[in-house]
Structure 1
Amino acid sequence: MELKEVLQVMEQLAPLSLAESWDNVGLLVEPSKPRPVKTILLTNDLTDAVMEEAEAMSCDLIISYHPPLFRPIKRLVQKDWKQRLAIRAVESGIAIFSPHTSWDSVKGGVNDWLVGGLGSGQVSVLSQALSGATQSHKLEFTVKSAGELSTVMEELKACDSGTTLQHSVSSGIHVSVTCSESALTPSVQALLRHNAPSLSLNVSTFEKPPLPGHGQGRLSVLDQPVTVATAIQKMKSHLGLTHLRLALGLGKTLDSSVCTAAVCAGSGASVLAGVKADLYITGEMSHHEVLDVAAKGISIILSDHSNSERGFLSVFRERLAVRLPDSVAVVVSKADRDPLEVV
């Protein structure tokens, strides 16, 4: 199977347009000599141990949830461990793809999997994803004659070839024009050069529509409330961990009831901020963020960053495998693990 065909399947499962604007997702390393993709390795992080595993199995594509290349780089040298891994991938002809926050946001993705550990409930999105459609604006103004309308429209079309026009005639000619974000400033400048349009100009922005079920973080109103102690045991089982970190909310005990839980995989403080719930579940929060939340009577379960994400790899493996031919093996890394452990 060709690499581009695998990437098309990946896009169908979790469109990259769902990723956060700051993220670095998609194909990060592409071999110069194309070869059929026969073995895909799924990992949460690309480390030296995972790269050795990939090389040993003659892997053709590594899907690393966290992008191993995130910030811009000016050189590829051996002293930087991430650059060293990229060099090894290129030399071995291994492609690297990262989905990161597109998996967090997509309906049925990492955050839906994480909140499902507590049991069924009415789940909603904390930070709603919006359509990837290009931002557009509507400019409304009046011109005095058909001749002026023709002149103005020629200037606007020079600013944006996609400009569309609607107009009606009353005492003057009322004009409504839509333009792209990049064309807004030059379009306004063009209109201000004409007397009638400049005096009557009104600008409005079209909001991007929400994508139901997609976005960052989840809030679940549990069908069957549980105690904090039970929530801990459920999450240990769900995440495959023997230990979790707990901060009891002010006035709460292990027997306190949890009716609502807010979750965010990874480092979730910014997404969870201000959310009303009995329990927060995330990978990590800073010391002071924990103190602030606990003071509000909200209990917190922390699993360490990648432990809140890694279990989804097995779920995704099944989804990906059924969409690929039998000739392609999809394997979850055995070398991948959280760098922190309780000792």
Structure 2
Amino acid sequence: MRQRKLTEEYQNKEKDKYPEIYGRTKTTFSGFPYNVILKNGADVSREERTAAFEDLWAEGGFRFWLGNYIDLFTNRITNEHCYEFWRDKTRQRISDPVKQELLAPTKPPHHFGTKQPSLEQGYFEIYDKSNVELVSLKDNLIVEVTENTIRTSDGVEHDVDIIVFATGGISQINLKGSDGGLLSEKWASRLQTYMGVATVNYPNMFFLYGPQAPTAFCNGPVCCWITKCITYLHDNNITHIEASQEAQEEWSNTVDTIFSGQLFSETKSCYNGANIPGKKIQSLNFTGGLPAYLERINDVAEKGYEEFILDGKPAAAYA
């Protein structure tokens, strides 16, 4: 990640650039202050790709992941070369050949970047310490937790002092719609929203950091859009807003179509729900890039929030 201490002088200098930086983030694919490389990695030589990877690696941060070639998540050639570069760089930090293969396998376990990579500093150096043992649960599952050990499927009992449960968030809230149905039941067979900010039968309810928006990368634009929408409703004495079924279906199909053409669709991850047994696999984020998303939501706002239902009538009735 190339984290470093920032001097007060440097921070003050960068703060002067805030308007420029925030303006730039609206024009980049991931909503970061830098864009992807606007050409396909598969169209250039391996030598040119390697040189680009070296530059991104040296800059640190998220750049190697989200500032890479524009076809990183759609082209196998670019993605495989990117993984090979990452693997070789990572293996230089691990002296034990067994740990090398577990932490940075010869063959990629999935397409690079389609699961969140380890955004770390010193992570692999910790594993490389002689007093650190790495147990691969892919090869030996946990079968029992006893008072002082964890037993794996190979029969080995591993002594433990502390167990950290990194289970993630669990949604237990039962949101009931205007039709009496539960949101969890509606989304069980297929997640559907309109632009990632609203869903049918839930009037006056907006999502922040919600599904089918570019949520994995940025949330600020959605917050701004919702604020402006509420202001519009207030100024026009509109008390009810709800997504229409047609708009929701169209948006969800758009999200699924973009996702199906990307390498994300071939990886079991939290980005598509495949990390949870039995859950429907589909994109939980809009992966078409922030500029395309902003163009759509801003166009809807400029047209008086068309395809929403306002006070029980289509938005066109207020035009």
TM-score using structure 1 length: 0.21
Instruction: Report which structure shows greater RCO (CA 8 Å, sep ≥6).
Output: 1
**Structure of larger gyration radius:** 1
**Structure number with higher helix proportion:** 2
TM-score using structure 2 length: 0.22
